[in-house]
Amino acid sequence: MFYVTKINQNITFAFLFIFLSCATEDPTLIQLPDTTAPSGYIVSPLNGSSVSGNTSLQVIAIDNEEVDTVYFMIKSQRDNSYRNVDSTTNVSNDIWSGKWNTQNTEWVENENYFITFKAVDLVGNEYIAAPVVVKLDNQDDESPVGYIKNPITGQTVAGQVSIEVEASDNKSIQYVSIFINNEIKITHLSEPYIYNWNTELETDDLVYSIYAVIVDVDNNRTTIPPISVTVNNQLPTDVTPPTGALTSPPAGSTVFGNTSIQVTAADDQLIDYIEFYIDGNLNGTFDCNGPSCTASYNWETINENEGEHIIQVILVDGWNNSTVLTPISVVVDNIDQDDIHPTAVITSPASGAIVDGNVLIETLVTDNLEIDKVEFFINNESVYTDSIGSDYSFLWETDTLPDDEHYVLAVIAYDLVGNEGPSTAITVYLDNDDNVLPHGSILYPYAGQIVSGVETVSINAEDNNSIDTVEFYINNILVFSDGTQPYEYDWDTNLEMEDLNHIVGSIIRDDSGNQFEVPSISVLVNNIPNDSNPPTITISNPLSGQTVSDTVNFLVAAYDDIGIAYVEFFIDGFTLGTDDEAPFSYLWDTASNIGVHGNQHALSAIVVDTAGNTTFSQPILVIVED
């Protein structure tokens, strides 16, 4: 006998045969075929990521029975079908791995590619996963970034000045070169990128241009826009006190362990030193010796009583003018039940960054147990508290704030028992309205250079946002506009007045309408050399006194330091013709009736160079026998 049973929607009827014997044996079951396909998804690489080199491909593939093989497949946006790049039968915890060598010539740099996989089980059921899109990026075309940290543009400097450059790259920095007035002063292969400039060797009361060139390991190059400083070693008496801010810890915060007290200070001439006071007692001094200074003092709070303490800072400049910063109160707490405080770091924006519009302040906070909340501070004022997490952030709206100013950002992380973890404060510059002029210089030609032919005028142009156009001027007349790098103009000097100085200038305009007039240079156009040296000439054949007959190769050797225009040949003062190409020669038929009668003839020649200078040869006498 048999029974009919409905298994599922995919199988309408399945027949289960049960064979019974007269005895009490169990029935025999016939197994149904496997028609269930595998399933899975791509683990790596992530959708939207960039890949390079020998890229690892990882997927999760599972089946109701067993996955036999996984095929990894790639195609570009232009291809109609996928190509197998790898396959595997090895599995570990349902994770299947393959490799894609992106450096093969069949794959195109900066192209987007779809990655998928096909999983096949033991009976041939197949599953093709939803693809992810990645970008092929084997070549690093991302330029390094950096800025001149010290000194600042417009500053008056004296004595020993530390020129400090901050540089970073997505890979690594190859070298940083520092220039003063277009003269390279030092090249560093590793941090710190500093040049100690002795301004006492320079001319006083002049403006000096400082810039730097950053080159990464893939030879991507960035030129940091130049800053201008004035050297003045004959400084007047300073009656202006220094200015500054106590940036960390925030007022009212709870501190513990080794706490860093951080201060920024500036003076119109020189910050000499900074003093740190705890509860009115001098605890430490930081020597600055520069027009600006970022100082810190490590306060070991374990030696202090638990409770409230007053931090005070005094700034002293080179003329002994002093400024007492507003004291702050903090609470020392080293004996809480949970004595491990959270840590907090502002990950974005970067310290020293120029920001505008809505700025997302992002943090990285950790604790041994759990974070309760993170409080955000702008210029030491609490502006927002994020108690949701886990990515603690704050969208800072800057449109209504005073522009072109520095703002101090800080956060405090709190754990569940109230331990606080203040971040290191950072300073950013708010620039909603672009009023920063572009900068640039004429890279080529050089001032005073003698030019000729077609010369390529090259301009270095940079802006805090982006360059719109670079205009090229010859003698104050606009001759060309360039909107893309490199900013160059092929100047045909043959169209200009000869042996005169000509003015080469440029105006750089950015996208906000700001413009910068590049200092002009003067060059001398000289397409026609001033040649006052006469050429030389010698009759090399025939020889003087020689007897000749038939046809004679009348040959002249001529030389000039610039160039020969032509050579003219004579017999007995009668012209035979000219030759403007070496070797200079004339085939003389001695049977012709050229020259005076008789068998003796005088041969001579003149040479004229390209400047019109003329030289006569020494005549020779030959005898004709025909």
| Residue 499 confidence (pLDDT) above 60 | yes
Lowest mean pLDDT among 20-24, 265-269, 370-374, 509-513: 20-24
- If 0-12 CB within 10 Å is exposed, 13-18 middle and 19+ buried, where does residue 53 land? exposed
Hey, what are 592's tokens?
């012709």
Specify whether the CB–CB gap between 231 and 212 falls below 8 A: no
pLDDT at site 335: 63
Cα separation of 326 and 329, whole Å? 10
pLDDT at site 236: 67
Q: Where does 39-136 sit in CATH, by number?
A: 2.60.40.10
* Positions of CATH 2.60.40.10 in the chain: 39-136, 145-231, 243-332, 343-430, 439-525, 536-624
Domain 343-430 belongs to what topology? Immunoglobulin-like (2.60.40)
| Residue 12 confidence (pLDDT) above 80 | no
| Tens of pLDDT, residues 316-340 | 998 889 999 999 999 988 765 567 8
Q: 145-231, superfamily in CATH?
A: Immunoglobulins (2.60.40.10)
Instruction: Provide, rounded to the nearest whole percent, the portion of the chain with pLDDT above 70.
Output: 94
pLDDT at site 26: 58
Cα separation of 475 and 106, whole Å? 52
Q: What is the DSSP string of 157-171?
A: E-SEEEEEEEEE-SS
pLDDT at site 2: 37
Closest by alpha carbon to 75, among 142, 136, 143? 136
Domain 536-624 belongs to what topology? Immunoglobulin-like (2.60.40)
Specify whether the CB–CB gap between 518 and 487 falls below 8 A: no
Closest by alpha carbon to 482, among 454, 447, 519, 440? 440
Cα separation of 42 and 117, whole Å? 8
Q: What is the mean pLDDT of residues 472-479?
A: 96
Q: What is the mean pLDDT of residues 581-605?
A: 87
pLDDT at site 1: 37
pLDDT at site 6: 37
| Tens of pLDDT, residues 501-551 | 999 999 999 998 899 999 999 999 988 777 788 999 999 999 999 999 999
| Tens of pLDDT, residues 287-312 | 988 889 999 999 988 788 888 999 99
Cα separation of 446 and 304, whole Å? 65
pLDDT at site 19: 39
Q: What is the mean pLDDT of residues 267-278?
A: 91
Contacts of 530 (CB under 8 A, 6+ apart): 499, 611
Q: What integer best gives the mean pLDDT of the chain?
A: 88
- Confidence class of residue 31 from pLDDT cuts 50, 70 and 90? low
Q: What is the DSSP string of 119-155?
A: EEETT--EEEPPPEEEEE--S--PPPEEEEEES-TT-
β-strand partners of 51:
136
Name the pTM for this structure. Answer: 0.31
pLDDT at site 621: 93
| Residue 24 confidence (pLDDT) above 80 | no
pLDDT at site 291: 87
| Residue 21 confidence (pLDDT) above 60 | no
- Cα→Cα distances 180→195, 231, 263, 289, Å: 10, 12, 30, 21
Cα separation of 308 and 407, whole Å? 27
Q: How are beta strands 281-300 and 358-366 bridged, if at all?
A: unpaired
Q: How are beta strands 258-278 and 307-317 bridged, if at all?
A: antiparallel
Hey, what are 448's tokens?
């005073």
| Residue 237 confidence (pLDDT) above 80 | no
| Residue 595 confidence (pLDDT) above 90 | no
pLDDT at site 336: 59
Architecture of domain 243-332: Sandwich (2.60)
pLDDT at site 33: 85
| Residue 214 confidence (pLDDT) above 50 | yes
- Among 1.20.120.1760, 2.40.160.10, 2.60.40.10, 3.10.310.30, what is the CATH number of 439-525? 2.60.40.10
- If 0-12 CB within 10 Å is exposed, 13-18 middle and 19+ buried, where does residue 336 land? middle
